A and B are shown apart, each in its own frame.
Chain A
Amino acid sequence: MDKLKDNDIREALCRRETKRRQPEVPDDFCDKVLAGIETPPSSQRKWTWVAVAACLLLLIGVGVTTNLKDHSTSDQTKRTAKVESKPEKMDIEVIPQKTEPTEQPSSIQPQPVSEDKTTKTERTVEKVGTRPQKHTESKDLPSIPDEEPETIEPMDILRKVQEATPITETPAQVYTTCIPKEDTTIDSTYISPSKVDEFIAKLADYYDVDPITLPCLGRTDSTVVSKAYVFPDNDEVKLFSRLLQVACRYKDDTPGYLLNFSHRQFFFTLDDSRKGMKHLWIAERIGGGGILLYSTRSPKSTNVPSDCYRKYREQLTNTSTREL
């Protein structure tokens, strides 16, 4: 059985990312792109296509001519040979060719042999001349495939995702064990619960609220992250309604979904079955015009005690009481 743990892969990727030096966008990046844009390649492209088409036509033309030449030369030799050996039979063949260059009836009535030798030769030449015409009319030259390469449009992908069998049905048994069933079946609509944390972090950044990391397990475990924020409780921030908006992005059938809120408290939990993590967010109105927002993320199997949060809240309320 595959014993690669998703968390290990994530941890390794996280470490790689922290070690990795982010490339700096050079100052002239935008200018270079715009310079590349402002020289419209359309005319150049057009000429390229014209040149390609011309080359193809030329090649086809050369091919046809060579083919016809070979054909006519061999025909001519054949016919000349025939004329020399069997002149009467030649007449029978030649006359219908002259009148009907395309489809010939199977039963051809032989014309009476009343023409002199010069006419016969002219007709032979005429016949040779008609052959290439017939050949070009048949249009059996290889045509250039002009179908466009298949491109996957976003709508197609959406449709395909809906039609696609769940990944659990792949022959790969190990993969199915790595990704829980409930997750793969709704994979196309999967929204990582960490998006909520990202939103909170951005909001905190915007309102200059510093996050406080709470060492809830008393040790440095990178898999358990508990943070607390104290947002101002005012109409500008509208933390409760914003949190509700974010929570509403998740369907109520999302694993671990639990949403509860009142005027005083907001409580939201989600499970990330793809990562095997559980998330919890509690926002609570505390004294002093502030909202304490607590967020924690931990592996499903780990129990994070609520003591640290309670202690921190008490500490905060005491501080604010004392301040008052």
Chain B
Amino acid sequence: MSQTIDIEEQRRIIRIKECKRVGDHKASAKEYAFFVRRYSHQVLNFVARMVTDISDAEELAQDAFIKAYHSLDSFVGQSSFLTWITRIAYHEALNHLKRRRLFEVNIDDLPMMDTSLPDDELSTGREERIQLMEEALDDLPPDERMLIHLYYYEDRPIRDIAYIMDVKPNVLGTRLYRIRKKLLQMIKQKENGQTQR
């Protein structure tokens, strides 16, 4: 389970904390390199899902590791190191996107959502529907896409996702529902667009 920390990691974290306490930064950095090597791929992959520019993603992933190192004292091992650093990386990426959003047009601002659409069954076949779904997923804002990804693709427990996204589990449920509804509407619009053509 992601809520447990493996003994090897725990041992290393204790050693890092100890080294930091006595001011041996070289030794603690050497120990920390284990975590960077072990999880760099996962963290980078995670950030790259939210931030499209790969150099930005790399920088954010590095920042997440640096931040995690400096706040290692606050890590009490109630979650796995990976879940913890994922949480840090998520917020780093989100902050980056917020800063950038000032210069970009938000997808939510576009007049594409028609809430008056009836909630009837989608008329397309499965194959077509999945294709439209893929497109709709691309159009979702990064945080919503990430929620869908964590829940449906990575099968993470609600508790983990809530921890990563720093929200209450019941709020996540509502948010998931809204995103599903949004996806449905987006697909319907895409369907309508196709039939009109």
Q: What band does the interface of chain A fall in when counting residues whose beta carbon is under 8 Å from B? A: 35 or more
Q: Is the C-beta of B155 less than 8 angstroms from some C-beta in chain A?
A: yes
A170 pairs with B174, CB closer than 8 A: yes
- CA distance in complex: A122, B196 (Å): 93
Partner of A174, one of B32, B155, B169, B177: B177
Q: Which chain B residues numbered 30 to 58 have a C-beta less than 8 Å away from chain A?
A: 32-33, 36-37, 40-41, 44-45, 48, 54, 57-58
Q: Which chain A residues numbered 156 to 207 have a C-beta less than 8 Å away from chain B?
A: 157-158, 160-161, 164-165, 167, 170-172, 174-175, 178, 184, 187-192, 194
- CA distance in complex: A8, B10 (Å): 39
Task: Please give me the residue from chain A that is nearest to B174 by CB atom.
Answer: A170
B137 pairs with A36, CB closer than 8 A: no
B152 pairs with A2, CB closer than 8 A: no
- CA distance in complex: A15, B155 (Å): 16
A25 pairs with B44, CB closer than 8 A: yes
B158 pairs with A187, CB closer than 8 A: yes
Q: Is the C-beta of A103 less than 8 angstroms from some C-beta in chain B?
A: no
Task: Please give me the residue from chain B that is nearest to A192 by CB atom.
Answer: B155
- CA distance in complex: A42, B137 (Å): 41
Q: Is the C-beta of B69 less than 8 angstroms from some C-beta in chain A?
A: yes
* CB neighbours of A33 from chain B (8 A): 32-33, 36, 40, 62, 65-66, 69
Partner-binding segment picked from A60-68, A133-141, A147-155: A147-155
- CA distance in complex: A32, B3 (Å): 29
A158 pairs with B78, CB closer than 8 A: yes
Partner of A161, one of B33, B66, B133, B169: B169
Q: How far is the CB of B176 from chain A (nearest CB, A)?
A: 7
A161 pairs with B183, CB closer than 8 A: no
Q: How far is the CB of B196 from chain A (nearest CB, A)?
A: 21
**A23 and B153 contact, Cβ closer than 8 Å, known pairs A154-B3, A170-B173, A172-B174:** no
Q: Which chain A residues numbered 21 to 45 have a C-beta less than 8 Å away from chain B?
A: 22-23, 25-26, 29-30, 32-34, 36-38, 40-42
A36 pairs with B62, CB closer than 8 A: yes
**A37 and B44 contact, Cβ closer than 8 Å, known pairs A10-B152, A12-B130, A170-B174:** no
Partner of A187, one of B157, B177, B180: B157
- CA distance in complex: A191, B158 (Å): 11
Q: Is the C-beta of A11 less than 8 angstroms from some C-beta in chain B?
A: yes
A6 pairs with B159, CB closer than 8 A: no
- CA distance in complex: A271, B133 (Å): 26
Partner of A175, one of B70, B159, B177: B177
Q: How far is the CB of B153 from chain A (nearest CB, A)?
A: 4
- CA distance in complex: A157, B170 (Å): 11
**A30 and B122 contact, Cβ closer than 8 Å, known pairs A152-B166, A188-B158:** no
A174 pairs with B181, CB closer than 8 A: yes
A37 pairs with B25, CB closer than 8 A: yes
B33 pairs with A170, CB closer than 8 A: no
**A1 and B153 contact, Cβ closer than 8 Å, known pairs A29-B62, A37-B32:** no
- CA distance in complex: A187, B41 (Å): 28
**A30 and B129 contact, Cβ closer than 8 Å, known pairs A164-B168, A172-B177, A175-B176:** no
B residues neighboring A (CB under 8 Å): 1, 3, 25-26, 28-29, 32-33, 36-37, 40-41, 44-45, 48, 54, 57-58, 61-63, 65-66, 69-70, 76, 78-79, 119-122, 126, 129-131, 133-134, 137-138, 148-149, 152-153, 155, 157-159, 162-163, 166, 168-170, 173-174, 176-178, 180-181, 183-184, 187
Q: Which 6 A-B pairs rank lowest in CB-CB distance, beginning with the nearest?
A: A154-B78, A167-B173, A175-B177, A172-B177, A12-B133, A192-B155
Besides A9-B183, A36-B66, A164-B169, 12 other CB < 8 A contacts? A2-B181, A3-B119, A14-B153, A23-B45, A23-B54, A29-B61, A30-B36, A33-B62, A175-B173, A175-B174, A175-B176, A187-B157
